[in-house]
Structure 1
Amino acid sequence: MPWSLYLALKQLFPSGKRFPFFTAISMLGVMLGVALLIVSISVMGGFGREIRRMIVDTQGEVQVRSRGFLPNNADVIATITDSPDVVGVTPFAEGVVMLEYNYKPTFPGMQGIDVNRINSVVPLADYVRVGSLDDLDDDSIILSSRLAYSIGATLGSVVEVYSPLLLEKMKGDEVMLPRELEVVGIFEIGHQSLDSSTVLVTLRRMQELYGLGDEVHGYSVKLRDGVDPDRAARGLNATLPEVAPGAFARSWMDSNQDFLFVVQLEKNMIFFLLLFIIVVAAFSVTSSLLISVVRKTREIGLLGAMGGRARDVALCFCWQALIIGLAGTGAGVALGFTVLHFRNDMIALFTRLTGSEEALLRFYEFSNLPAYLSNQDLSLIVGAAILISALAGILPAWRAARLQPVEALRSE
C-alpha cells in the first residue's frame, strides 16, 4: 500500500477515536445527494416506462396510417404480415362520438376494433375488469372505467351513440337515429385520461357510425421481441405503397416523439438540478480537507523534511477526497434503494395523514409510485458523484503541496 494512501486512511479514520465529525459530515452530504438523485431519477424513469408500456399496449409498436383512409382487405394485411419482423396485425377505426346515458352526455374517443385480431397485437383482454371482450359484438360497447362511473353506466346498461355522420345526414334532409348499444364490459388501462375518455366497439359498427364502408383509419402492428420499431417501420414503408398508395408506417416512438422528448427533458433537467446537491457536498469536502491542511501544517512539513515529495503529500489529500466520495456514494446507493423499496408504504402513510389519496389519483394519475432505474442511469449517478468528490480534493492537495517544509515546521 502506498504510504500516501495509508496516511489518508489514518487521517480519515484514526484508530482509537470516535468517527471523525468532519469525515462524517462530508460523507453524509455525498450520501444524501446520491440517494436523492437515485430516488428522483428512478421515479421519472418509472413514469417514462409506464407511459411507454401504455402506448405500446394501446397502439401497438408500429402503426400503419394514411392521410386518407386505408382499404381493409387481405392484400394489405398479407403485405404487413409477410414482413419477418411482424407477428400480428389488426385494423382499427377511430373518432369522437357523443355518448348518452340517463340524459348524461359525454364525448369520448371511440375505437373500432377487430375482435378476432386485436389480442394478437394488443393485450386488450387483460385490461377488461368487468365483463369480457368475447361478448363484444355489433350491438354492444365496452366503456372505460372512469367514463362508466361518471355517467353511472354498469354492465347491461344501454347507451345511445351519436356520430358526426348524423349531422351530415341531417344536412341532406335524411334522418339517422342514434345507435343503442349494450354495455358488455368495462376496461381500465391505468391512465386517468385513457380511463375517462375511451370506448370500444366492433370495427363494423365504427365503420357504420362514420360511414367508412370497407375502409379503416389504420393498422396496429406487433413486432417480434427485440426488433427495433424504427427499422421495422422502414421495412414496411418499402412495400406498403404497392398495395395501399399513400400508406406509411410509423413506430410508436416516432408517433409520440414530442411527448417522449418532454418526458426525457424533464428527467434530464431533474438530474442536472439535483446534481448541484453533490456539488454543494463537494464544497463541504473541500472545506473539511482545507481545515485539515491548516491543522496538520507541522505534520505536512515533517513529511517534507523526511523526504516526502510534494506530489505524494498532495496525493494523500486526493486519496481522502476519493475515499469520502466512494464511501458516501456507496451509502447513498444503499439509502436510495431502501427508500425506493418502501416508497409505496411512504406514499400510503402520507395520503392517510393528509387525506389526499383521491387528489393523487385524479391529478397525478397514480396510486402506486412507479420506479425504474436503468444500469446506464445508475452508472452515470455513481460516476458523477465519485468524480465530483475526487475533484473536491484538488484544492486542498495543491495547498498542501505548496507548503515549504521549513516554513511548515515553524507554524504554531
Structure 2
Amino acid sequence: MPWSLYLALKQLFPSGKRFPFFTVISMLGVTLGVWCLIVSIGVMGGFHREIRRMIVDTQGDVQIRAGAYLDNVDEVISVLEAQPDVVGVTPFAEGVVMMEHEFKPAFPALQGIDIDRVNSVVPLDSYVRSGSLEDLDDDSVILSSKLAYGIGARIGSVVEVYSPLLLEKMKDGEMMLPRELEVVGIFEIGHQSLDSSVVLVTLRRMQELYGLEEGVHGFNVKLAPDTDPDIAARGMNVALADIAPGAFARSWMDSNQDFLFVVQLEKNMIFFLLLFIIVVAAFSVTSSLLISVVRKTREIGLLSAMGGRARDVALCFCWQALIIGTSGTLVGVGLGFTVLHYRNDIIGLFTRLTGSEEALLRFYEFANLPAYLSPQDLTLIISLAITISTLAGLLPAWRAARLQPVEALRSE
C-alpha cells in the first residue's frame, strides 16, 4: 500500500475515534446527492418505461391509420404480414359514444377489436380482471375498471349505447333504439385515463354502430424483438402506397414523440438540478480538507523534511477526496435502491396522512408509482459523483503541496 494512501486512511479514520465527525459530514453530503438522484431518476425512468409499455401494449409497435377508413382489410393484412419482422397484425375501428346504465351516462371511447387477431398484437387477456375476453361477442361489451365503477356496472349488467350514427338518424325522423350490450368483462391497464374511458366491443359491432360496413380505421402491428419500429414503418409505407394510398404507418415513438420529448426533458432537468447537491457536497469536501491542511501543517512539513515529495503529499489529499466520494456514493446508492423498493409503501403512507391519494391518481394517472433505473443512468450517477468529489480534493492537495518544510515546521 502506498504511504500516501495509508496516511489518507489514518487521517480520515484516526485510531481510537469511533465517530470521525468531519469525515462523516463530508460523506453525508455526497450520500444525500446520490440518494436524491437515484430516487428521482429511477422514478422518472419508471414513468418513461411504463408509458412505453402501455403505448406498445395498447397500440402495437407500429400503427397504420387512414384519413377516413379502409375497406380492403384482407388485402392490407396480407401485405403487412409479408413485411419482415412483423409478428402480428390486427384491425381496429374506434369512436366516441354515449353509454348509459341505471340513468348514469358516460362518454367513453369505443374500440372495436378483431377477437381472432387482437391477442397477437395487444395482450388484452393479461389486463382482463373479471370475466373473459373469450366471452366477448356482438351482443356484449368489456368495460374499463374506473368506467364500470363510475356507472355502477358489473359482470352481467346491461348497458345502452348511443352512437353518432343513431343520433343522426333520429334527427332525420327515423326511430332507432339504443344498442343494449351485456357486460362480460372488466379490464384494468393501470393508467387512470385508459381505465376510466375505454370500452371494447367486437369489430363487427363497432362497424355497425358507426356505419362503416366492412371498413376499419386502422391496423396495429407487432414487431419482432429488437426491430427498429421507424425502419419497419417506412417499409410498410412503401408497401401500402399502391393498395392504400390514404394510409400512413407510424412507429409508437413517432406517434408520441412530443409527449416522450417532454418526459425526457423533465428527466434531464431533474438530473441537472439535483446534480447541484453533489456539487455543493463537493465544496463541503473541499472545505473539510482545507481545514485538515491548516490543522496538520506541521505534520505536512515533517513529511516533506523526511523526504516526502510534494506530489505524494498532494496525492494524500486526493486519496481522501476519492475515499469520501466513493464511500458516500456507495451508501447513497444503497439508500436510493432501498427507497425505490419501498416507494409504494412510502407514497401510500404519505397520501393517507395528507389525503392526497385521489390527486395522485388524477394528475399522474398511475395506480402504482413505477420505477426503473437503467444501467446507463446508474453508471452516469456513480461516475459523476465520484469524479466531482475527487476533483474537490485538488485545491487542498495543491495547497498542501506548496507548503515549504521550514515554514510548515515553524507554524503554530
Both structures adopt the same fold (TM-score exceeding 0.5): yes
- CA deviations on 1:58-102 (whole Å, 9 max, x unpaired) are 111111112232234221101101112111100001111111222
Alignment of 1:3-402 (within 5 A): 3-402=3-402
User: In 2 relative to 1, CA 170–349 (structure 1 residues): closer, same or farther, beyond 3 Å?
Assistant: closer
Q: What SS is found at the alignment partner of 2:212?
A: coil
What residue identity is the alignment partner of 1:158? Answer: V
Q: CA deviation at 1:5?
A: 2.0
Contact map agreement 1:357 1:367 (CA 8 A) in 2: no
- CA deviations on 1:124-172 (whole Å, 9 max, x unpaired) are 1221112211121112111111111111122222222112223433454
What residue identity is the alignment partner of 1:56? Answer: V
What residue identity is the alignment partner of 2:43? Answer: V
Percent identical residues: 81
- CA deviations on 1:30-53 (whole Å, 9 max, x unpaired) are 112111211111111112211111
Gaps of 5+ in 1: none
Q: CA deviation at 1:364?
A: 3.6
What residue identity is the alignment partner of 1:379? Answer: T
- CA deviations on 1:371-405 (whole Å, 9 max, x unpaired) are 11110010011011001101111111122122222
Count matched residues. Answer: 412
Contact map agreement 2:192 2:367 (CA 8 A) in 1: no
Task: Supply the distance in 1 between the matched residues of 2:28 and 2:188 (Cα, whole angstroms).
Answer: 44
What residue identity is the alignment partner of 1:391? Answer: L
Quick check: 89-98 or 361-370, which moved more?
A: 361-370
Q: CA deviation at 1:358?
A: 4.4
Contact map agreement 1:72 1:91 (CA 8 A) in 2: no
CA RMSD in angstroms comes to 1.8
Gaps of 5+ in 2: none
User: In 2 relative to 1, CA 257–84 (structure 1 residues): closer, same or farther, beyond 3 Å?
Assistant: same
Task: Supply the distance in 1 between the matched residues of 2:382 and 2:104 (Cα, whole angstroms).
Answer: 55
Quick check: 335-344 or 140-149, which moved more?
A: 335-344
Task: Supply the distance in 1 between the matched residues of 2:148 and 2:71 (Cα, whole angstroms).
Answer: 33
Q: What SS is found at the alignment partner of 2:41?
A: helix
Q: What is the TM-score when the length of structure 2 is the normalising length?
A: 0.95
Task: Supply the distance in 2 between the matched residues of 1:312 and 1:242 (Cα, whole angstroms).
Answer: 75
Task: Supply the distance in 2 between the matched residues of 1:3 and 1:139 (Cα, whole angstroms).
Answer: 83
Task: Supply the distance in 1 between the matched residues of 2:246 and 2:233 (Cα, whole angstroms).
Answer: 15
Task: Supply the distance in 1 between the matched residues of 2:344 and 2:301 (Cα, whole angstroms).
Answer: 55
Q: CA deviation at 1:369?
A: 2.5
- CA deviations on 1:329-366 (whole Å, 9 max, x unpaired) are 11111121222222233334334444544444444434
Q: CA deviation at 1:174?
A: 3.9
Q: What SS is found at the alignment partner of 1:184?
A: strand
Q: What is the TM-score when the length of structure 1 is the normalising length?
A: 0.95
Task: Supply the distance in 2 between the matched residues of 1:386 and 1:201 (Cα, whole angstroms).
Answer: 56
Q: What SS is found at the alignment partner of 2:65?
A: strand
